[in-house]
Amino acid sequence: MSQNSTIDVASVSLISPMISSQKFTPSAPLKLGIMASGNGSNFEAVAQAIQDGQLNASIQVLVYNNPGAKAAVRAANWGVESVLLNHRDYKSREDLDRRIVQTLRQYDVEFVIMAGWMRLVTQVLIDAFPEQMINIHPSLLPSFKGIHAVEQALASGVKITGCTVHLLCLEVDSGPILMQAAVPVLPDDTAETLHARIQLQEHRILPQAIALAAQRQCLTLV
C-alpha cells in the first residue's frame, strides 16, 4: 500500500448521526462543567467549537483529579477556571463525588462532560445531574468497554473501531448513545497511531453530541 493510499484510508470515517449544519441553539449558552484526568485534548475541542460558533455554550469550570494533568494547562490557556480534586485525598468514591457535585453547583453547571475522566463515578454524582452527564469513550460501544479500549480493539482483530459519546449511567461505559464515529483499523496500526486517529473523530463529534444532549433534554421537558 502506498503512502498516499494509507493517508486516504486513515482519513475515512463514518459519523452517525451525521454532523448537520442545522444547529440546535438554546435560548442561553449551555453552562458546561468538564471533567478530565489527562491531556485534555477533548476539553480543547469543546472550547474551540464554542469559539468558532459551532456550539452555543460556555465552559464554567474544569475539574481534574491528577495534579500533573495537562488539561489544567489547557484550561488556563483558554481562561477557564480549574479545580483540582485529587481522588487520593478522599476516603471513598462517594466522598469524592459529593465534593465534585458541590464544585459543579458552585460554578452553576448545567451539563457535565466527562472528557477523559479516568475514575468510576457513583450514584451520588449521577443523581445530581440526571440525563445531564455525557461521556466519550474510544470504541464503538457496546464493544470494548473499560480501560485500554484501543488495545482491546487491536487484540481482537476488528477492522473497524471508533468512538462513542453517550449519556452516563452507573454501569461502566453504558447509557443511551448520542453519537458515534467509525474509524478503520489499518494493518500496521499501533495503539498510539490508532488512538490518534480516533481522537480526531472524538474532537469532531463531542461538541455536536453536547448539543444533541441538550436538545434531547429540552424535548423531554416539553
Q: What CATH number labels 137-165+179-221? A: 3.40.50.170
**What is the per-residue pLDDT for 221?**
41
77 has binding-site annotation: no
Answer whether 210's CB lies under 8 Å from 202's CB: no
**What is the per-residue pLDDT for 2?**
39
pLDDT, tens digit (0-9, with 9 covering 90-100), for 46-76: 999 999 999 999 999 999 999 999 999 999 9
28-130 against 137-165+179-221: fold identical: yes
Specify the CATH class of 28-130 in words.
alpha beta
Active-site entry in 137, 166, 195, 203: 137
Parse the chain into domains and list their residue ranges: 28-130, 137-165+179-221
Question: Which bin fits 56, alpha (ψ -120 to 50), beta or left (φ > 0)?
Answer: beta
| 19 C-beta neighbours (distance < 10 Å), count | 15
**What is the per-residue pLDDT for 212?**
92
**What is the per-residue pLDDT for 60?**
98
- The question of whether 166 is a catalytic residue gets the answer no
40 has binding-site annotation: yes
Answer whether 96's CB lies under 8 Å from 87's CB: yes
121 has binding-site annotation: yes
98 has binding-site annotation: no
- Rounded to an integer, what distance in angstroms lies between the CA atom of residue 176 and that of residue 153? 22
4 has binding-site annotation: no
**What is the per-residue pLDDT for 11?**
52
Instruction: Give the three cell numbers for residue 137.
Output: 469513550
Has this prediction a pTM greater than 0.85? yes
Residues of the chain with pLDDT under 70: 1-13, 19-27, 218-222
Answer whether 135's CB lies under 8 Å from 175's CB: yes
